Structure 1
Amino acid sequence: MSKIVPCLWFNGNAEEAANFYVSLLPDSRIETVQRNMTDSRSGPAGSVLVMEFTLAGQRFMALNGGMKFEYTHAVSFKIGCDDQAEVDRLWDALCADGGAPEQCGWLKDRYGVSWQIVPNALPKYLGGADRAGASRAMAAMMKMVKLDIDGLRRAYEGT
């Protein structure tokens, strides 16, 4: 088990967020739920204080901290995707219900957390031996919102 566990700060909706995240990826589950023993800044007695969960094999913690803080792009979570169907499924789920698409495969989910939904093929196109192809793929990616594997391939190949 990793010694480093990212902690996501929420204002009352840590349980909702953790359950949503674990519904998206295999090897994901709720590990523990710690409830407030008494009324506090983080919520009334009996409400969730901390959720520990595993997301695609990586441990996380969700904390109801009692006040709202905005997330920034300084920290984001990358999900590597095997194919366009997985890119599309995760993109749609994370953008739903108030999420916001951004440029180059980035989005903010309904909780304000930044994600990168990235095809596993991307390094092949951006770092391939054909430097002109890699440059074309980079230019194509910079114009994309959700990443399109076929579009990146066509740009790399010059077709």
Structure 2
Amino acid sequence: MNITVCKLRIGLVLAKEGGALPQLVKPIQSGMGAAFGTGKQMQSWIHIHDLVAMFLFAVQNNWSGVYNAVAPHPVTNSELVKSIAEVLDKDIIFPNVPQFLMKMLLGEMHILLFESQKVSAQKALNNGFQFKYKILEKALDNLLV
């Protein structure tokens, strides 16, 4: 059919409304935030602005193939939780949430919280895309302050 196809694999979307951020912020704002499991699992994230910009850039530049729609600097789950708490000026006082507890609450969906997802944005960068929010703290400042 000779059609150009581009697939964007989307990471953890950080946005004021929707996406993962509001769900991550709630327990931290209430003083009950904590990392999951060891907290060492990697989280590949992207700011909603960069996600929208990447979709537009892909169309305008006729990207073909599979690209990872994630920021260039993934973080651990602990770093993510601590960074959100820092921006919100909250302390993390609880120990990490054990996997068995989340399995009881979420069933098989709990796996999403405990598996690493370290994904590279290099292909998008190599094809000319420039991120506005490369660093987690800058993205969180924009969304939470």
TM superposition score normalised by structure 2? 0.24
**Structure with the greater relative contact order (CA < 8 A, sep ≥ 6): 1 or 2?**
2
Report which of the two has the higher share of helix: 2
Larger radius of gyration: 1
TM superposition score normalised by structure 1? 0.23
Report which of the two has the higher share of strand: 1
